[in-house]
Amino acid sequence: MWVRSEKMKLIIGLGNPGKEYKNTRHNFGFMAILDFYQHHRADFRQWKEKFNALVTEGKFNGEKIILAIPQTYMNNSGEAAGALAKYLKLTPKHFDDIWLIHDDIDLPLGATRLSIDAASAGHKGVESIIKALGSQGFARWRLGIQMPRKNKLPTDQYVLKKFNAKEMKIAQEVLHKTTAALDGALTIGLARVMNIYNR
């Protein structure tokens, strides 16, 4: 299906599969991938399951783009990411062509950060991917879901709760911002987009 080319991006959104996890905070990465896909739907093929992930292939500005949504549950995301990277022949020198999108509990809702070659900061899904690739040399689009001070839930329960109506409105703005930033990064590069996206 795929042949390695010099211009390719593997963009992976993290989350948990299953209807019960739809629109939960921990699925922000899934939501971002789907938002990008909806904006460029005409340019992508139908979703297929491959290597424990839902994947679709398309093109943006002449560059091959693979969108992936792992179906392994968050903490085992590396199983899908590692298999896809291997199949696409994305060796360590190509790891800057792997872009990861995920929730970040250290950032407030509405805040976003683009990081390159950064440690996991305790995010289990990111840890799994770093372990599978043997490197952290990929880009990470981090979407804030920080817990309000008044919230008393344990972190592992908080991240699995759905966004409420007020939060969802902010989340939608973040998703559109991230889609626009992905468009920009695919056009002018990560470094130039980072200064805008990280505001």
Annotated catalytic residue, options 26, 94, 102, 123: 26
Tokens of 63: 């560059």
Cβ proximity of 90 and 2 under 8 Å? no
Opening angle at CA 148, ends 147 and 154, nearest 5: 45
26 is catalytic: yes
Residues with catalytic function: 26
